[in-house]
Amino acid sequence: MVNDQDTQAHDARDRSINYIEFIISGMWKTKAFYGEVFGWRFTDYGPTYCEFSDGVMTGGFEVGEPTPHGGPLVVLYGYDLPALMTAITK
């Protein structure tokens, strides 16, 4: 059974961006820019991937070749997936 505190915690992030990941060409320059301009913090997971945090949301930078028709990977959070699926397909 879900209590009111659990529901409130889920409602705050329901149907919002939970995580975002960008393909980049250079780790050092990217981290320097976002760290200096926005104050983001980073956790490295090898030479080609790092997680960033802006204090509210986390995401990732991965070194690689951009795809011609791609963009960032965006993960959306949904508390009630069946209801969200219904809204999407409408």
- For 8-57, the pLDDT digits (tens) are 556 777 888 889 999 999 999 999 999 999 999 999 999 999 999 998 88
Which residue did the predictor score with more confidence, 34 or 70?
34
CB-CB contact of 42 with 51 (8 Å): yes
pLDDT grade, residue 6 (50/70/90)?
low
Residue 67 is classified by DSSP as: P
Tokens (6 digits) for 25: 């060409």
Give residue 68's pLDDT: 78
Give residue 81's pLDDT: 87
**How confident is the model over 59-66, as a mean pLDDT?**
92
State whether residue 30 is helix, strand or coil.
helix
